[in-house]
Amino acid sequence: RARVAEKVENCIDSLTLSLSEKAKAFREAGESVVSFGTGEPDFTTPEYICDGAKAAIDAGHTKYDAVTGVAALRNAIAKKLREDNGLSYGMDEIIVNSGAKSSLSVALQTILNPGDEVIIPKPYWVSYTEMVKLAGGVPVVVDTDPENAFKMTAEQMKAAITDKTKAMMLNTPVNPTGVLYSREELQALADVAVAADILVIADEIYEEFVYDGNKMVSIASLGEAIKNNTILVNGFSKTYAMTGWRLGYAAAPADIIAGMKRIQGHTISHPSTITQYAGITALEEKGEVVNEIIRIFDERRRGMMARLDKISQLSYIYPQSTFYIFVDISQVIEDNRYGIASGYEFSQRLLNEQKVVTIPGEAFGVTEHIRLSFATSMEEIEEGFNRIEAFLASAC
Ligand code: PLP
């Protein structure tokens, strides 16, 4: 008898693992590797937040606390949602989890019965499909149109609905494409969700990484009916450069939060109390430091686009948000001289030949793209692009 359960066997390992292992081996062999692969800010956690955690330890906040999270943190989150997103949630409508990843997976475990379908627009963050499967659900991946910057339309969503559809994943700002759904686009999706009584899991983790004066719209803010069908997920990893602290949260109607509480209570209890106190400090004393991080990211974004604009074989989706640029490599694939048939082959060859890490589109369900992260210094970006140019010049 197999010791590992089928549901685990059916869950894929991260596609990027082999590439990052190879990059590590190159580094250990003394090679200079440039990485456009990073999914986290390259800054250390702001000092004021670390001070908040140290003060929490000194004050003895090192014990178990409420399963849904420290009350003062839930209060601070409620205030944030009110002020930033125009949303009013009570204390029984918020739960704190170990990262947004855990908010998403606990939410799915809470709402899915075996065989329930979850709509996932493609390209998607790979954990969505695997989380749905692990929760007993069936991912229904929806093809989107590159001409529409890969945003799912209300028609595409409607066409994917069956009598088994329970929920849809909605990520805006979108990883990996860097696009932002407009209020009108969200309204159209919300109308379909409400009419078909489908829950929307709104992953807003990249909320603050929005450029050109735009602002993310929370789908839950579009009216009481859609708010009642939405599980809003956000977290501290990206905004506050707190990836290692593991702090995220969900806001949803009380019945769903009560279900999530039951699961969390029997599994992890709650995220580290010290981390939660750091989260309170992060929200309550949020200041210029976050704006400064976003300003630096914006500079890099422009720097990266300037370099991309000079490479005729590559095109890209305009990155309105996140810290990623989704680059179309179909011209390289079509050019037989390269002998490259997919994003994966492109990423692999670029790493082997020029020691540049990129994430192949396959990691997000598509084959003719690669994702470049600008969570790295301007110097690294310039060096990385020198190498990409050399790669494209030498490969043919
Ligand atoms: N959602 C998306 C789209 C992400 O890209 C990530 C992290 O890469 C997460 C959620 C998870 O973030 P956390 O560190 O809060 O678990």
Q: Which atom of ligand 1 is nearest to the CA of 174?
A: 3
How far away, in angstroms, is 232 Cα from ligand 1 center?
A: 13
pLDDT of res. 18:
74
How far away, in angstroms, is 247 Cα from ligand 1 center?
A: 10
Per residue in 230-258, pLDDT (tens digit) is 999 999 999 999 999 999 999 999 999 99
Ligand 1 pocket (Cβ < 6 Å) reads 39, 99-101, 125, 171, 175, 203, 205, 235, 237, 243, 248
How far away, in angstroms, is 25 Cα from ligand 1 center?
A: 26
Nearest CA to ligand 1 atom 7: 39
pLDDT at residue 395 tops 70: no
Q: Which atom of ligand 1 is nearest to the CA of 247?
A: 15
Q: Which atom of ligand 1 is nearest to the CA of 98?
A: 16
Per residue in 304-333, pLDDT (tens digit) is 999 999 999 999 999 999 999 999 999 999
Which comes out higher in pLDDT, residue 17 or 291?
Answer: 291
pLDDT of res. 145:
95
Per residue in 341-379, pLDDT (tens digit) is 999 999 999 999 999 999 999 999 999 999 999 999 999
What is the average per-residue pLDDT within 208-214? 96
Instruction: Say if CB 236 and CB 207 are below 8 A apart.
Output: no
pLDDT of res. 80:
98
pLDDT of res. 396:
58
Q: Which atom of ligand 1 is nearest to the CA of 104?
A: 10
Instruction: Say if CB 123 and CB 151 are below 8 A apart.
Output: no
pLDDT at residue 383 tops 70: yes
Quote the CA–CA distance of 281 and 297 in Å, as a whole number: 23
How far away, in angstroms, is 238 Cα from ligand 1 center?
A: 8
pLDDT of res. 394:
86
Which comes out higher in pLDDT, residue 216 or 395?
Answer: 216
Instruction: Say if CB 235 and CB 99 are below 8 A apart.
Output: yes
In the structure, what pLDDT confidence band is assigned to residue 104 with cuts at 50, 70 and 90? very high
- 331 half-sphere exposure, CB direction, 13 A CA radius: 9
How far away, in angstroms, is 313 Cα from ligand 1 center?
A: 31
pLDDT of res. 358:
96
How far away, in angstroms, is 106 Cα from ligand 1 center?
A: 14
How far away, in angstroms, is 40 Cα from ligand 1 center?
A: 9
Residue of 45, 106, 127, 247 to mutate, ligand 1, most atoms within 8 A of C-beta: 127
> What's the mean per-residue pLDDT of the chain?
95
pTM of the model: 0.96
Instruction: Say if CB 21 and CB 15 are below 8 A apart.
Output: no
Per residue in 268-310, pLDDT (tens digit) is 999 999 999 999 999 998 888 999 999 999 999 999 999 999 9
Quote the CA–CA distance of 208 and 262 in Å, as a whole number: 31
Quote the CA–CA distance of 215 and 158 in Å, as a whole number: 26
pLDDT at residue 17 tops 80: no
How far away, in angstroms, is 30 Cα from ligand 1 center?
A: 31
What is the average per-residue pLDDT within 192-197? 98
Assign 3-class secondary structure to the chain.
CCCCCHHHHCCCCCCCHHHHHHHHHHHHCCCCCEECCCCCCCCCCCHHHHHHHHHHHHCCCCCCCCCCCCHHHHHHHHHHHHHHHCCCCCHHHEEEECHHHHHHHHHHHHHCCCCCEEEEECCCCCHHHHHHHHCCCEEEEECCCHHHCCCCCHHHHHHHCCCCEEEEEEECCCCCCCCCCCHHHHHHHHHHHHHHCCEEEEECCCCCCECCCCCCCCHHHHCHHHHCCEEEEEECCCCCCCHHHCCEEEECCHHHHHHHHHHHHHCCCCCCHHHHHHHHHHHHCCCHHHHHHHHHHHHHHHHHHHHHHCCCCCEECCCCECCEEEEECHHHHHCHHHCCCCHHHHHHHHHHHHCEECEEHHHHCCCCEEEEECCCCHHHHHHHHHHHHHHHHHCC
pLDDT at residue 336 tops 80: yes
Assign 3-class secondary structure to 328-391.
ECHHHHHCHHHCCCCHHHHHHHHHHHHCEECEEHHHHCCCCEEEEECCCCHHHHHHHHHHHHHH
**Residue 302 CB: number of other CB atoms within 10 A?**
12
Per residue in 27-81, pLDDT (tens digit) is 999 999 999 998 888 899 999 999 999 999 999 999 999 999 999 999 999 999 9
How far away, in angstroms, is 130 Cα from ligand 1 center?
A: 14
| Phi, psi (degrees; rounded to nearest 5) at 142 | -105, 125
**Residue 378 CB: number of other CB atoms within 10 A?**
13
Q: Which atom of ligand 1 is nearest to the CA of 171?
A: 3
Instruction: Say if CB 201 and CB 288 are below 8 A apart.
Output: no
What is the average per-residue pLDDT within 122-151? 96
Q: Which atom of ligand 1 is nearest to the CA of 101?
A: 16
How far away, in angstroms, is 339 Cα from ligand 1 center?
A: 34
Structural domains of the chain sorted by starting position, each given as residue range(s) with its CATH number in brackets? 6-44+289-394 (3.90.1150.10), 47-284 (3.40.640.10)
pLDDT of res. 21:
84
The interface predicted TM-score of the complex, written ipTM, equals 0.99
What is the average per-residue pLDDT within 84-110? 98
Q: Which atom of ligand 1 is nearest to the CA of 175?
A: 3
How far away, in angstroms, is 395 Cα from ligand 1 center?
A: 35
Q: Which atom of ligand 1 is nearest to the CA of 203?
A: 1
Residue of 101, 204, 236, 321 to mutate, ligand 1, most atoms within 8 A of C-beta: 101
